Amino acid sequence: MNKLLIGVDRLSTWVGQAFAWLIVVLTLHTCWEVLARYIFNSPSAWAFDLQMMYYGILFMMAGAYTLAKNGHVRGDILYGFLPPRMQAGIDLVLYIAFFIPGVVAMVWAGWYFAGYSIAIREHSSLMANGPPIYPFKAFIPIAGAFLLLQGLAEIARCVICLRQGAWPSREGDVEEVDVDKLKQMVDVKDEDIARLDKYVQGEQAR
């Protein structure tokens, strides 16, 4: 079972990291639009709409990735002090009562809206001859499906934790810098840092 859960994590991670490249696309597009507007005096009428769609797709497709890394916002003032089984019980209730109905509704409604948008070849109404938005809407049910799959994996984790008393492992990812590990890697001791601090303070005093 844990191998299957790790496989779902890896799929969500791959999707999130693949669509993260939209940040580069969005940055380059924004820079080009600034140049085109203020230097070449030739702004694009589609720039704002496309930038909104880039960010919207990135935001939606990162949902499953964030859930796989347990990175969604959580009010854990008390939650973090609870034992794993109680945490799993709370999560399981919330997933079944709120997460699953909400995401299923997102997939269902997204499928309808995307199908209708594709059928009429919907374009932006913010301007005459606006850009097509049906490709953007097509990502709504896709993002919802990935999020639902990852949610089912999280529910399975809750059940495993309730049975075993400990959370099962997750797929690894980029972590914040661990200062202690970094000091071990470069062979720096606390005494060295203290001497360096004294030296800097002495130089500043001069």
Same domain, 7 and 44: yes
Same domain, 108 and 10: yes
Same domain, 75 and 167: yes
Residue 155 predicted with pLDDT over 90: yes
pLDDT category at 185 given cuts 50, 70, 90 is: low
The residue among 141, 122, 149 whose CA lies nearest residue 64 is: 149
Other Cβ atoms closer than 10 A to 10: 12
Q: What's the pLDDT score for residue 3?
A: 85
Burial of 175 (0-12, 13-18, 19+ CB in 10 A): exposed
Same domain, 28 and 58: yes
Same domain, 68 and 22: yes
Tens of pLDDT, residue by residue over 115-124, are 999 999 998 8
Residue 18 predicted with pLDDT over 70: yes
pLDDT category at 144 given cuts 50, 70, 90 is: very high
The number of distinct structural domains making up the chain is 2
Same domain, 138 and 191: no
Same domain, 79 and 149: yes
Q: What pTM value is reported for the model?
A: 0.77
Same domain, 149 and 194: no
Same domain, 162 and 191: no
Question: Residue 85 belongs to what domain range?
Answer: 2-175
C-alpha 9/C-alpha 6 separation (Å) is: 5
Token look-up 């008393």 returns: 165
C-alpha 159/C-alpha 92 separation (Å) is: 8
Same domain, 137 and 186: no
Q: What's the pLDDT score for residue 181?
A: 61
C-alpha 56/C-alpha 4 separation (Å) is: 29
Q: What share of the chain is helix, strand, coil (3-state, %, to 5)?
A: 75, 0, 25
Same domain, 105 and 185: no
C-alpha 163/C-alpha 28 separation (Å) is: 49
Same domain, 65 and 138: yes
Tokens standing for residue 60: 């939606």
